Every structure is written in structure tokens, then in C-alpha cells.
Amino acid sequence: MRNDLKNDAKRPGHGGRMSRRRKKEAVLRLLRGEDLEMVSREVGVTAATLSG
């Protein structure tokens, strides 16, 4: 799961908006109690984007 998110974040063309799948996986990780900063770094978006 985490490796998929990391790979998506590094691929070209995956800058601006998050796909539904990436967002869902990130939100599920946050709901499980993972650290916001860690998830945001691994997904490649700001913490504000994930928390908003």
C-alpha cells in the first residue's frame, strides 16, 4: 500500500491533483492513526492538502 503511494507520487504527471485512489489510501492511513506529516511526505502532498 505505501509503496504504491510513493511510486504514484514520483511518476510524472502526478503533481497537482490527487487521484481518488491515492486520496482514499492516504485518508485510511490517517484514520488508522499514522502521522500526518509522515503520510504527507510519502504521498508527496502538503499536510494542508490532506487535512483540508
Give 1-52 pLDDT, tens digit per residue.
Answer: 555 555 554 544 455 688 899 999 999 999 999 999 999 999 999 999 888 8
Cα dihedral 39, 43, 47, 49, rounded to 10, equals -140
Measured CA to CA, the distance from residue 13 to residue 30 in angstroms comes to 25
Range of the structural domain that residue 6 is part of: 2-51
Name the pTM for this structure.
0.65
Measured CA to CA, the distance from residue 6 to residue 21 in angstroms comes to 13
Domain count, the chain: 1
Measured CA to CA, the distance from residue 50 to residue 52 in angstroms comes to 6
